Structure 1
Amino acid sequence: MRRLFIALITVVYSLLSQASQESERKEALQWLSELPEHGIDVQPKHWQLIGNTPTKDQIREVVNLYTWYMDAGILNRHYYQPGWTIKDVATSPKYSGLTPPLDRISPDVPEYKHLIKALKQLRNWKRNAYSLFPNDFILFDGDSHSSIKLLNQWLENLDLADDLPDDVYTQAHKDVLTEVQLRFKLVPDGRLGNMTRQALLSITNERIRTVKANLERLRWLPRTLPYPRVWVDIAGYTTRYQRNPKDSTTHKIIIGVPHKQSPILQSEIEKITINPTWKVPHSIAKSLLKKEKQNPGFFLREKFKVYKSWDDNSPEIAPDSVNWKAVTPKSFTYRLEQQPGELNRLGQFKLGFKNSFGVYLHDTDKPELFEKERRAFSSGCIRVHHVKALVETIAKEQGLASELKAALNGNYSDTLELKKKIPVYTVYFTAWPDKNGRVRFREDIYQLDNALISEF
């Protein structure tokens, strides 16, 4: 009797264990099926493993792996984007059950949801374009058709057009499609036909990979970011001072040229210098030597002090005491410092933060460059348009308005130490939502997408 009881208990336990395991398997399958919405594709071997009869340990191992992917990214950031120096600490959210809610481990920034939405829209076009715009469907100038509105939505989701007429096929439509046709070496007739649809599908696939790559970049950041913060959007040529998710001010910026890229980093703004002195980096000093050779007296006119060497205690020498024509870039050992004033390359303000690249945010002596659409002109530092307004805002919020006013009236170099350091992030995203939530696709200025996109 006792043996029968033990056997019965064993059977019941086995059945309950199997039921529990089957429940966990189904939960894991459902959870994994939601990951592609976030730009994470589940590997076939993991689908196969969970789809068969996995052990509990195998189920948990797969779930833990993709939990890590959602939190910290799929790819090694140091391999696919070597210049990425922003640190990320993996989170350990508390939750009950086998699978963590995806909204507890995905990036907690508003832009993430907009990128997810854009990915869904692009995938819908990829899936439905053939049925919506069949092979025998062609639009000509002046045509009216219900599909024109759909075409407009597709072109907007691809970030190829804005505000096209919904009721008639116009020259504006033709201009957009002509650009697409020229890109793919098609007959540039501006009509929507079979080959042009294929070209749009090709762009759709490119956009999908770009969105997935930028979702990956978001996962490389800390899941939550502090407020207030300064957000330097390199590829978007803008910086934002973000007080909270709904309150921010935006400024145009000038970034580093491709061969002197503005770095991707995380730091804290500690001080603001008014009327700064520009201590010229050695690499830039050599380029200024060329200007002195071409225009003798350049150093004097531009108010540069010249020091005999890079030693901090080296003596100052008169710029006209050196035969600059005889100096070569290789023999150039002098240190240059440009004095405060209207000619100073840093302008009136410098926002300093610790980093290994020697870069900072600053004003400029050439504000006309902010009128350019493509603004990669600097040697790595970030020049900020209307930086005075940003400085005044920070000073006011930190109770330093009177000190700032006194420094500005004094017309001399002065430094304000911030009472509370402000986190600053310089980042690089080639797909990013605008203020209305619509995802815009940017030029890959520094060619940082190539390796990353190849994995998606």
Structure 2
Amino acid sequence: MTFGRAVIAVVLVLGGSPVFAAPEVRSLPATPLAAEIAERLAGPGDVPGDVVVAERTLDGGSLRTLYESRNYSPLWLADGALTADARSLVDLFGRAKGEGLEPHDYYVAELAGPLASTSAAEAELLMSAAVMRFATDIQAGRFDPGRLGEDVDYERKDVPGPAFALIAAASPEPARYLTGLAPDSPAYDDLRGILAEYRALAAAGGWPAVPDGPTLEPGDIDGAQTIALRRRLAVTGEYVSTLVGPPAPAYDPALVEAVQRFQSRHGLETDGVVGPRTRRALNVTAEQRIDQIVATMERWRWLPDDLGDRFIMVNLPGYQLRIVDEGRPVRDMDVIVGLADRQTPLFSSRLTWLEFNPTWTMPTSIAIKDYLPKLLDDPTYLRSHGFRMFAGWHNDAAEIEAAYLDWEAIGEGIKYFRIRQEPGPSNALGKVKFMMANSFSVYLHDTPSRGLFSRSRRAFSSGCVRVQDPIWLADYLLSDTARWTGSFRAEVMGGWETTRINLDNPMPVHLAYWTAFRGDDGRINFREDIYGLDSATQTVLAEVRPNSAQIALLD
């Protein structure tokens, strides 16, 4: 592939990502502009480092790699001015807010005006730096996901900026090429539209707050609250007034239905009662919703570029699992995720095997936090709930009877005992668990605690994901496995013998965190930030792009 007469770099495509290989260049720069570019990039003692251009600090290493490969000839200037392609990119960068990004990060103010002859090299370097940064930001995100903590374990994408810059420069439509690096998902496309809609709402003044007051139930009379509710819900479309004359103070059926629509869109109990949780959601401002949308777009960029032809997506704050096949949803089901202090981690992996009628070996943290108090109250608890206890963690440790031990004296020493629950109706993992490689020992599984699925807030587990219909999911995953047939399936499902079955075709699974999305009915949905990752994302963005955060506040 050729990227212009002066380009001698090699760009390979391996696994969908370009790989940059720059052969050594020894000839002198061919033009005064090329010589100026080389001079601006020259570091003291030839030690690579950042480059300051127009008071902006640029990634000198990437710029040197790019321009050394082409003997410092420009990519974006001709006859002392930005080319038409470069101007189209500056226009794209000026519209970066549409992607949840900030124009300031791409040097729009410096590049949008006329160029003086002495600033040509600066404009060239700023353009390349902007292209490489935009490509990285829109494809991989603006920071390493691991900065949010050890429970976020997505692999940081390696974005070869120089290669992307060369491809963009050679593309007949460079702006389309760069925007095409964004996540290839209808859900991400939806977020673009949602962001535009909520920015328009914020620009129009947002919505009024609902005042504090007693819990409002259907039929109550409270003029201050009902008037505020009607105004609030009219802005976001849940309430359409049919009243003639001044609004009534009664919490009437039409307003109750509007509140229920709002509750449904926000993952709340759809009881029409305006209590503390619903009131908090009503009073989240338009600007705060914009932050949620931007944070969700940022997290989308952390997922693999290829989610898989078939895959499972688990949205933790939405408490939902979705199976997708060739871009089409196959089925949604509710899930139960980790408590706030025992968060289900975020990562991508593959389901590789299933275990029916599993045993459950109790993690030491759960033994101390959850089961030691039970044993203090009832030393026979383990035996009565199908557990066996062993004197140590080695395979030949002797089995001992928990009821005869002094748990007051042992206390946190419970961690030295191996406690295992045998297969059966009360087993914490239910009938089947779905295994995937990860560093957290987290998996999907059945549960005997079926009643918890009726709750709107379902953060109850110790980190694993409990699925609503595990038998359906097992049948779906094993549908192309010859072994999973009538008599064998009946034997496995009818008894309690532990049985492992490997998947002939492992299924990609992505544990994700979307607090803003469009539902299947087309309505915009928001969810509570159950693990504080929206606010954490915004905090890190303010740290890595402080100037952007300040300018965003002024917009």
TM-score tier by shorter-chain length is 0.7 to 0.9
**What is the percent sequence identity of the aligned residues?**
25
Within 5 A, what are the aligned runs for 1:409-420?
409-420=494-505
Within 5 A, what are the aligned runs for 1:182-261?
203-261=285-343
Partner in structure 2 of residue 155 of structure 1 = 236
Partner in structure 2 of residue 375 of structure 1 = 458
The range that moved more, 391-400 or 92-101, is 92-101
Match of 2:143, as an amino acid? L
* 1:108 corresponds to which of 173, 184, 187: 184
Q: Does structure 1 residue 83 correspond to structure 2 residue 151? A: yes
Within 5 A, what are the aligned runs for 1:92-107?
96-97=171-172, 98-107=174-183
**RMSD, aligned CA:** 3.2
Mapped partners of 2:296, 2:405: distance in 1: 51
Mapped partners of 2:231, 2:414: distance in 1: 65
- What is the aligned length? 404
Partner in structure 1 of residue 532 of structure 2 = 447
Q: Does structure 1 residue 312 correspond to structure 2 residue 380? A: no
Partner in structure 2 of residue 65 of structure 1 = 133
Question: How far 1:252 sits from its partner (Å)?
Answer: 0.9
Match of 2:348, as an amino acid? Q
Match of 1:340, as an amino acid? P
Q: Does the 8 A contact of 2:379 with 2:404 survive in 1?
A: no
Partner in structure 2 of residue 21 of structure 1 = 82
Gap regions ≥5 residues in structure 2: 1-31, 33-76, 209-221, 224-228, 263-280, 543-548, 550-555
The TM-score with structure 1 as length reference comes to 0.80
Q: Does structure 1 residue 121 correspond to structure 2 residue 121? A: no
Match of 2:240, as an amino acid? P
Mapped partners of 1:229, 1:219: distance in 2: 17
SS in 2 for 1:259: coil
SS in 2 for 1:106: coil
Mapped partners of 2:480, 2:241: distance in 1: 47
* 1:426 corresponds to which of 511, 521, 526: 511
Match of 2:142, as an amino acid? I
Pair 1:89–1:451, CA change in 2 (3 A): closer
Question: How far 1:154 sits from its partner (Å)?
Answer: 3.0
SS in 2 for 1:347: coil
* 1:167 corresponds to which of 216, 227, 242: 242
Mapped partners of 1:411, 1:212: distance in 2: 48
Within 5 A, what are the aligned runs for 1:342-421?
342-402=425-485, 403-421=488-506
Pair 1:285–1:200, CA change in 2 (3 A): closer
Mapped partners of 2:333, 2:180: distance in 1: 32
Question: How far 1:328 sits from its partner (Å)?
Answer: 1.4
SS in 1 for 2:452: helix
Mapped partners of 2:444, 2:426: distance in 1: 17
Q: Does the 8 A contact of 1:84 with 1:265 survive in 2?
A: yes
SS in 1 for 2:532: coil
SS in 1 for 2:131: helix
Higher relative contact order (CA 8 A, sep 6+): 1
Gap regions ≥5 residues in structure 1: 1-9, 11-15, 134-139, 142-147, 157-161, 181-198
Q: Does structure 1 residue 290 correspond to structure 2 residue 373? A: yes
Question: How far 1:25 sits from its partner (Å)?
Answer: 4.2
